[in-house]
Chains A and B, each alone.
Chain A
Amino acid sequence: MNTMEKLTTRFTFGGDEFIYAEVSRAMNVEANFKVLAVTDEIRRCNIPGVTEICPANASYLIRYNPDIIRPLDLLDVLREIDEQKSDISGLTLQSRVVEIPIWYDDPITKECAAKFKDRHQDPSVSNLEFVMKINGFKDKEDFIHAHSSAPYLVSMVGFVPGTAWEFPLGVPQENIIEAPKYLRPRTQTPARAISMAGAFTVIYPVAGPGGYQLIGMSAVPVYDPEQKLEDLKDTLILAKAGDIWKHRPIDESEYNKIVAEVEAGTYRYNIKSIEFSPEEYFAKTQQYLNELTEGIAYA
């Protein structure tokens, strides 16, 4: 994963108002860094007619008004920016490290999983135990440590407001924890449930249907439509593409304490602004991640 080979983007029209750009078909952090660099530059260019700029895991989506900029003209502009930003060495991304306190193996998501066990591959165990089993973990503490010790890159925001796809940093592909989705999706999931499918971790912003494997509860929300919390006042949602999130395991009493602070509107997220250098990340992966998350990572 420490190669920074040049990625060639494939462009395609999504009707007359969208252009879809596929940087890579496979998920990898290199592709995501390029997506972030290109979409930052598109934003900076203020192209007349462009109305939405949406970075995704290994692709990006642009919405535009074709009465203002012709589809083929915009395609040329995007190709040029994409080409310019193809080399991610020397690139720095403005980012943040955000701590997410997690109550792993909690009774709330276990109860939800039990209710929908007829839709699951292995109804005899909890979702967390299922993910442990298929990834070769024997001990719960080992699994929780593995999941919470790696920082996660927010590689995409979307689906419904606040949903963030988190992808582990510094973990060789063969060691990334993976999980299949439910056989048939649940019709209900508690808001703030933390879950896994594919190589991604996702926190549910609101209660609703879902097919990811449930492994715990986040004490803090990722969506705040009432704009009660200071840190989400301007944005409504916590996630920004390019964020680095660090999950900190907590117990029931700390979970309850934080939830009460959130409800009172007094909770402040533990956030640190950073400059992220993909080049340094690839050169000295673990050491670099330790430096970045210092003061955020749990003691």
Chain B
Amino acid sequence: MLKILEPGLSTSVQDLGRFGYYHMGMPPSGALDRYSFQLGNLIVGNPYNTAALEITFIGPKIEFQQEMVIALTGAYVKPLVNGQEIPMWQAVRVREGDVISFTFTQGGARAYLCVAGGIDVPERLGSRSTYLLCQFGGYEGRKLEQGDILHTGNPRQSLNAIEGRALPEELWWKQNKPVELRVVTGLCSYKVQPDSLFNFLMEEWTVSTEADRVGYRYKGNSPLTFKDIPQPFGAGDNPSNVVDMGYPVGSIQVPNGEEPIILLNDAVTGGGYMTVATVISVDLPKVAQSLPGTPTRFLSVSIEQAMAARQEEQRKFRYAEEILASHQRYQTS
């Protein structure tokens, strides 16, 4: 069991998300930085889709009420167990009564605390993820609060076998600056003057303070200009309005042509704002790890390039699996 002594800014239970309910307005939720989240689970011997804690900016203070093995991944948060720093990206054993605390996240916005056996909250519609906006799933549908007690599941292997497993630095999550987000253009981009969209994507943007699990708004550039085409029936008067449609996760909408908003895992599933491009899935963690003020550029790619980026990420996961498996052999020999 984990006892929350201090909740941090916004700590919530997340897995890979809730699928199959988008058509009823239920977004997937789930870990925003899927890369760090999945590697954290891999380190502690969990299946990829095991519930863990997502930590945002300011970490919680947690007391472990039993012996367990944990791993911290994502942005650097200087994890301290009873005041002593422990390594991230490594399976660390903690004992009953140990207390973990953190500094602010550095160089990123989110970190993951994965526990061997996972965080055990009831599944709702097939997932343990928290959908904060509608208070659904996770731990009582909300971010964690002081005094909450979280149960954990049974580890798949003995703690001895898991402890000490680690990933090399080349696999740690790192943010380059400026952040480069690869996007596939399309959706409703037909409404926009082509040179205006080209400039819009080429210029440097800055993450605003409106940045959470719902979406990230960017600031600092000239607005889009629209083609002179009449608004279709039912769309509304503003040229940035369309007849309400489903929004892809990662899609970039531009209300009034001004500031782009990237929709993330807790976003509304549809609406009437024009969308012009979609961030490719492997670059969504870069969005979620961006702190306000982060300079960002968009890079237009083809669907083939998006698939190649996906395969590159999968090679990293295979590599991580091999490294952790070889640790296992070393331990048992």
Asked if B178 is at the interface (CB within 8 A of a chain A CB), the reply is no
User: Interface with A: B15-23, B77-85, B92-100, which one?
Assistant: B15-23
A239–B135 alpha-carbon span in the complex (Å): 20
Q: A14-B251, A20-B187, A66-B310 are in contact. Are A25 and B24 (CB under 8 A)?
A: no
Verify if A16 is at the interface (C-beta below 8 Å from B). Answer: yes
| B133 A160 Cβ-Cβ under 8 A | yes
Q: How far is the CA of A77 from the CA of B314 in the complex (A)?
A: 26
Q: Which residues of B contact A52 (CB under 8 A)?
A: 19-20, 22-23
A13 at interface by CB-CB < 8 Å? yes
- Residues of the B chain whose Cβ atoms lie less than 8 Å from the Cβ of A156: 244, 270
Q: Which of A45-75 contact B (CB under 8 A)?
A: 51-61, 63, 66-67, 70-72
On chain A, the number of residues with a Cβ less than 8 Å from chain B's Cβ atoms is 56
- CB nearest neighbor in B for A62: B246
B245 close to A159 (CB less than 8 A): no
- In the complex, are the beta carbons of A198 and B278 less than 8 A apart? no
| Min distance, Cβ B104 to any Cβ of chain A, angstroms | 29
B26 CB within 8 Å of chain A:
yes
Asked if B307 and A16 make an inter-chain contact with CB atoms under 8 angstroms apart, the answer reads yes
Q: Is the CB of A162 within 8 A of B25?
A: yes
B-side interface residues, number (CB < 8 Å): 47
What is the CB-to-nearest-CB distance from A262 to chain B, in angstroms, rounded to a whole number? Answer: 19
B150 / chain A contacts, CB cutoff of 8 Å: none
Assess the A199–B246 pair: CB atoms within 8 A.
no
Asked if A89 lies at the interface with its beta carbon under 8 angstroms from chain B, I say: no
As a 0/1 sequence over residues 234 to 273 of chain A, the CB contacts with chain B under 8 angstroms (1 = contact) are 0111010100000000000000000000000000000000
Q: Verify A59–B246 contact, CB threshold 8 A.
A: yes
A288 contacts B by Cβ under 8 Å: no
Q: Is the interface of B mostly helix, strand, loop or mixed?
A: mixed
Instruction: Report the bound CA distance from A18 to B263 in whole Å.
Output: 13
> Which chain A residues (2-33) contact chain B, with CB distance < 8 Å?
12-18, 20, 22, 24-28
A134 → chain B closest CB, angstroms:
13
Chain B residue nearest to A158 (CB atoms) is B270
Q: Using known A-B contacts A13-B278, A15-B306, A71-B303, determine if residue A157 contacts B25 with beta carbons closer than 8 Å.
A: yes
Question: Please, which residues of chain B bring their CB within 8 A of the CB of A157?
Answer: 23-25
Judged by a CB distance under 8 angstroms, whether B108 is at the interface is: no
- On whether A236 and B248 interact (CB within 8 A), knowing A16-B306, A67-B310, the answer reads no
Residue of B nearest to A206 (CB): B134
Instruction: Give the residues in chain B near A72, CB-CB below 8 Å.
Output: 303
Interfacial chain B residues near A60, Cβ < 8 Å: 246
Decide: A61 and B246 in contact? CB cutoff 8 A. yes
Query: Which residues of chain B (252-309) have a CB below 8 Å from chain A?
Result: 268-272, 275, 278-281, 303, 306-307
* Given A15-B281, A20-B187, 8 extra CB contacts under 8 A: A13-B184, A13-B303, A16-B280, A54-B269, A63-B22, A71-B307, A161-B134, A180-B236
